[in-house]
Amino acid sequence: MITPDKHAVISGGGLAGSLLALVLANRGMRVTVFEKRGDLRNLKAPAGKSINLALSERGIHALTKVDLADQVLKGTIPMRGRMVHARDGTTSFLPYSRDESEYIRSVSRPGLNRILLEKAGLHPNIELHFNSEVISTDPDKRVVSLNSVAASGREVSYDLLFGADGAGSPVRSSLHSFSDIGYRQEMLRHGYKELSMPASADGSFVLEPEALHIWPRGTYMLIALPNMDKTFTCTLFLPFDGEPGFDQLKEESQISAFFDSQFQDAVPLIPSLLTDFMTNPTGRLGTVRCDKWTYGDTALILGDAAHAIVPFFGQGMNCAFEDVSVLAEMLDEGNHQSWSDLLHEFEKERIANTNAIADMALTNYIEMRDLVSDPAFRLRRSLALELEKRFPERFIPKYSLVSFHRVPYKQAQEIGRRQDSVLKTLCEGKQGIAEIDWGRAETLVAELGAMNWAR
């Protein structure tokens, strides 16, 4: 049987690591967290990394495990749909759901991490160490080596090690050197740059706040998510090379000409555009996959360390949080004979699902940057929402399955594939929703079968 009298070391006190610390400590384990950065509880938001994120059902569910959902949700802004900005400055709103109670939420990354760290810092079973970088681990000896500012070269022993240290995970690299975990990383040939859109002179939002704004431009896009201080954080996603590409935007005149021609309505709203563009780093995006996340009963990687994904489904953090909630549920079931059993079952279930969301996130980039402007796509999307309204037990669109439900990602992906084929068939040759053959729709939806999971 699994006993809680273990010492767990967590590498990384980011989103997944700090949530995991609380989940393990609440179940009686002694937990030591090593975080490379300084103590976020005393720092301002670090520049350069996306400062707000879309939080949805899976992430919220995980926060309920540590009684933090209500506190976190108070500091979020609903995003009820996509506000699409055409080149000529006109806008159109595409709702995420037919149901007004279903929306995603914009949350501050450092704010959320701070809430988790504050609660962890008060827990008697948790020790937090900042400015403490894990360099490597020897899982056979069960020790981590630290390059801690306070005590350089220190070694710390553990019973269980959790690598929650992000896409560049040193724990993953160490494990890979002990046993082949089938690690591979595929970098996107597109990067991202963050820009700030301040509040208006009277302190209000300059765009509709309850929306995720998108300026889709085919091979690239600009997006904006609202913040609680009435600002927006904009992110430009663009190829590294080509026309247009980051390599073509070196001089102020090139940057201005590009934005003036492509994002005319956004430019006056981003007064620090040139400074932000020249000074903020260009971020890289990629997908990490591994065939194994464990080393016997000794170590587990999770969150971005195990499965970094591109951000276009707004699921990286939600998925990392779901790792933690699934682990918590397996611990609470209490029917594993050993840590080794539990870790292997966890790994088996999660790898299939995280591979599915990794694929869906890559596909969603094309939807966001291109398809949202396409009338045929818009018709399919309207039809999907209408089918959900007419046949709620049989048709829940893929976006909703991923964002507003907790149906396993792999199942959502499979259901989504079958739905796509129904939507294409029904929309063939049609210009608008009024032309849909509802009798045929009923037959095709019935063939999809009932949803075999609880709403």
Binding interface with ligand FAD (CB under 6 A)? 11-17, 34-37, 50, 53-54, 133-134, 164-166, 170, 192, 235, 283, 303-304, 311, 314-318, 320
**CB of 387: closest distance to ligand FAD in angstroms?**
27
**CB of 364: closest distance to ligand FAD in angstroms?**
11
Q: Between residues 209 and 316, which has the closer beta carbon with respect to ligand FAD?
A: 316
Give how far Cα 320 sits from Cα of 99, 315, 403, 423, 426, Å. 26, 8, 14, 31, 36
Q: Between residues 135 and 269, which has the closer beta carbon with respect to ligand FAD?
A: 135
Kind plus residue range of the DSSP H or E element containing 367: helix 339-369
**CB of 320: closest distance to ligand FAD in angstroms?**
4
- Cβ neighbourhood burial of 274 (10 Å; 0-12, 13-18, 19+): middle
Please answer whether residues 42 and 131 qualify as being in contact, where contact means their C-beta atoms are separated by less than 8 angstroms.
no
Distance, C-alpha 91 to centroid of its chain: 26
Q: Between residues 19 and 427, which has the closer beta carbon with respect to ligand FAD?
A: 19
**CB of 392: closest distance to ligand FAD in angstroms?**
26
Q: Between residues 28 and 46, which has the closer beta carbon with respect to ligand FAD?
A: 46
Q: Between residues 170 and 244, which has the closer beta carbon with respect to ligand FAD?
A: 170
3-class SS at 73? helix
Q: Between residues 194 and 388, which has the closer beta carbon with respect to ligand FAD?
A: 194
The sign of the CA dihedral 170, 283, 245, 315 is positive
- Farthest-apart Cα atoms in the chain, separation: 72
Eight-class DSSP state of 27 = T
Distance, C-alpha 321 to centroid of its chain: 9
3-class SS at 260? helix
Q: Between residues 17 and 445, which has the closer beta carbon with respect to ligand FAD?
A: 17
Q: Between residues 114 and 380, which has the closer beta carbon with respect to ligand FAD?
A: 114
Q: Residue 119: which of 52, 49, 60, 33 has the closest Cα?
A: 33
Residue whose entry in the numeric block shows the structure tokens 């595929």: 186
**CB of 12: closest distance to ligand FAD in angstroms?**
3
Rounded-to-integer distance, Cα 433 and Cα 419, Å:
17
**CB of 52: closest distance to ligand FAD in angstroms?**
7
Q: Between residues 61 and 394, which has the closer beta carbon with respect to ligand FAD?
A: 61
Rounded-to-integer distance, Cα 20 and Cα 397, Å:
31
The sign of the CA dihedral 257, 367, 354, 73 is positive
| Dihedral pair phi/psi, residue 87, rounded to 5° | -60, -35
**CB of 26: closest distance to ligand FAD in angstroms?**
18
Q: How many residues does the chain have?
A: 455
**CB of 202: closest distance to ligand FAD in angstroms?**
28
Q: Between residues 14 and 416, which has the closer beta carbon with respect to ligand FAD?
A: 14
**CB of 169: closest distance to ligand FAD in angstroms?**
7
Q: Residue 299: which of 185, 179, 183 has the closest Cα?
A: 179
Please answer whether residues 129 and 35 qualify as being in contact, where contact means their C-beta atoms are separated by less than 8 angstroms.
yes
**CB of 393: closest distance to ligand FAD in angstroms?**
28
